[in-house]
């Protein structure tokens, strides 16, 4: 059973992808610890069921996610998937590191390809630009990636971050066509749809939109958030209330969250992350079923007091 949804193009990249795609952050043990073979099986299940875009970063699990994904992709025909990874944000021995210099990001691209067992990267993005000097990103980081694009080492270039206005600043301060995609997270979910305010701008600039974290990094789940989650406590409490309300109706908030996140055709795809085969299967099934509009309305009423309540990244 594959994804029975029409593919959408990411901007003008020519990459036509399923509306729901695989984020490999979980393979770094970012959310929960897991068995490696289980994570590899989750990747294979996603590919076997038609998902054709996988996103990762050297930062996730401080290299671990790329290493595990590299093992999963061994022997998988390269034309079956688009691979997206990132530069600029790293980590070593439990310490987070950032380096957006041209020299480091070029090295990083080649290191990622080695870990992932691939000889080109479909999409390379500058990771979490809210941590960077945005002028350095415009002046140095992106030109270095464009040079790699000109050489065919990477096929497309993008940026990712939490703070939506930063996307606008960078896109307006680099030559047209430099930035082909943006990856935004936690801003097209049941509790926060602020990404829609920017869609006209992205479309006008030919920039494709990737949405990540339909569960708002665990806020919109029955299980709840990991300890490190940066959301304010009142928002966490409200999301727990919403999850309990769904449960009382015999529904799961995860199902509604997935359905909502793939519902906007102007957003090319939404990334979810898991190491569990059952979650891959559930998410794909939910994405192909019609949304319960009444339940959606009721949940949004519950979440209204903290609507679009965001947080600074950490």
CA distance 149 to 123: 9
Structure token digits, residue 219: 């806020």
Cβ(193)–Cβ(160) below 8 Å: no
Cβ(159)–Cβ(129) below 8 Å: yes
> Is position 82 annotated as part of the catalytic site?
no
Looking at 59, 60, 100, 188, which residue is catalytic? 60
Q: What contacts 24+ positions apart, CB below 8 Å, involve 135-141?
A: 135/173, 136/100, 136/101, 137/88, 137/100, 137/170, 138/170, 138/173, 138/174, 140/100, 140/101, 140/102, 141/87, 141/88, 141/100, 141/101, 141/102, 141/105
Residues labelled catalytic: 60
């Amino acid at each position: 059973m594959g994804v029975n949804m029409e593919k959408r193009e990411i901007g003008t990249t020519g990459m036509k992808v399923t509306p729901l795609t695989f984020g490999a952050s979980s393979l770094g043990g970012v959310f929960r610890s897991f068995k490696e073979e289980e994570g590899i099986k989750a990747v294979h299940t996603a590919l076997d069921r038609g998902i054709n875009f996988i996103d990762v970063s050297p930062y996730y699990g401080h290299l671990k996610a790329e290493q595990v994904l590299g093992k999963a992709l061994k022997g998988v025909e390269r034309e079956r998937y688009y691979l997206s990874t990132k530069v600029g944000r790293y980590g070593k021995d439990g310490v987070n590191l950032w380096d957006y210099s041209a020299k480091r990001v070029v090295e990083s691209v080649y290191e990622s390809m080695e870990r992932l067992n691939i000889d080109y990267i479909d999409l390379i993005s500058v990771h979490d630009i809210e941590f960077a000097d945005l002028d350095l990103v415009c002046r140095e980081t992106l030109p270095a990636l464009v040079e790699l694009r000109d050489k065919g080492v990477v096929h497309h270039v993008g940026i990712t971050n939490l703070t939506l206005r930063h996307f606008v600043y960078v896109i307006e301060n680099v030559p047209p066509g430099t930035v082909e995609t943006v990856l935004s997270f936690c801003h097209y979910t049941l509790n926060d749809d602020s990404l829609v305010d920017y869609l006209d701008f992205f479309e006008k600039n030919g920039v494709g939109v990737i949405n990540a974290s339909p569960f708002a990094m665990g806020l919109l789940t029955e299980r709840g958030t990991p300890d490190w989650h940066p959301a304010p406590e009142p928002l966490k409490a409200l999301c727990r209330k919403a999850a309990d309300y769904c449960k009382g109706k015999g529904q799961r908030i995860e199902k509604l969250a997935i359905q909502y996140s793939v519902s906007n055709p102007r957003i090319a795809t939404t990334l979810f992350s898991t190491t569990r085969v059952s979650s891959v299967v559930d998410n794909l099934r939910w994405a192909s079923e019609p949304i319960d509009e009444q339940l959606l309305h009721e949940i949004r009423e519950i979440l209204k007091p903290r609507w679009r309540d965001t947080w600074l990244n950490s």
